[in-house]
Structure 1
């Protein structure tokens, strides 16, 4: 899902609906960008962002552009200057034409997270790769700081989780549900954390059809809400809140419809 912050940066996030479910709650908001126009400085007031990452925690810096839905190109580009056109635009790379079906770093949450997290976040991820080639396998989750001040101004920390490619996985929905489970467990492990922001996992570079991504998000959020933490005080409603930040009102309404249907 591509950010709209570039041309609608002044539009504040809007709460569509809050759904209280016992001791937890799920909120669905619309925002121009969950990375740069959400977080603690807005009414959404989330201290942690769940980021759809990749197993290497490398962001999307390895490729000038990449195919939506995968697979990841086998070879990294030897030079960003290969096949330059007169106006300075790359026309082909790795056998892939620029254009339909291709995405750029600023098109995805992970790209923006690493761009705004800067060298501090990149160094932290590189450190994690020293101990494990793939520090964040599909379905798992890993926590880091928010890196540089640009991202740290919005979030205290980031939970990275790796969704599967929809067309290149034997059980994409199962793996995507596991992403939500792993990420929420890690995000809310700190009892002081009350609100966690999450995009619609899988709906961007990983190529999940929007309807499928919405269905899995609804299932995972209701499952999370029903899993009661015994350490939570009795009678507290919505102490822990999972906060979805979506681009379109129509997607928000669809997600809410699915959540309401599943919780009854």
Structure 2
């Protein structure tokens, strides 16, 4: 059976990169797929044109509406296997909340997730796909598998983050209890670059893990040891949501980012 949320859920808060307050509403739907509702109509997420950026998931809907930093919301829908919903956004950027998909996931779970109709068929990947950036030792790949699995590796040499690897078989329970709790992260050494490029205007220790050369600046500490690399799994799940139905496969990211995730999505669309 396909799933949707049982009631409308709404969040207001600051955008991580814009620094502006916005409101996003997620509504139940029995129309297959995730849709964005704008003044000009209802548009399926699969119709969005993705803007390539390694720092965030941004896309343009067919009517020209821009949506930025959607990955945490989309990861929550994907991780909890919510097939259908309508999203309404006031502003251009989804609120960052605590920097993780967890507030969305907790709200969806608390509101209830309802079955309806016949379960849509999910395809399985039949051939391996590899996207790489050889100049920067980065890659993203999808390998045929009987179960949905995500593995990720990050490497920040000379920083407290260091090298981390995490791997999960994706299920609603694992997503809610562990993966969704992982917050976005960054280095203080990157802040000047980000702000010069109009990013991270709404970033703070309340919505991001920040590291300097000595260690973590957040007094609350990490939620679990592999929080940073696990957050990259959230990002990938959110980006894969642009496919509509995520093919069953083992997805492997090696120092990748939203730009490579987007290229993988494009390649999968051509293969299926």
TM-score (norm 1): 0.21
Instruction: Name the structure where helix makes up a greater proportion of residues.
Output: 1
Larger relative contact order (CA 8 Å, sep ≥ 6): 1
Instruction: Name the structure where strand makes up a greater proportion of residues.
Output: 2
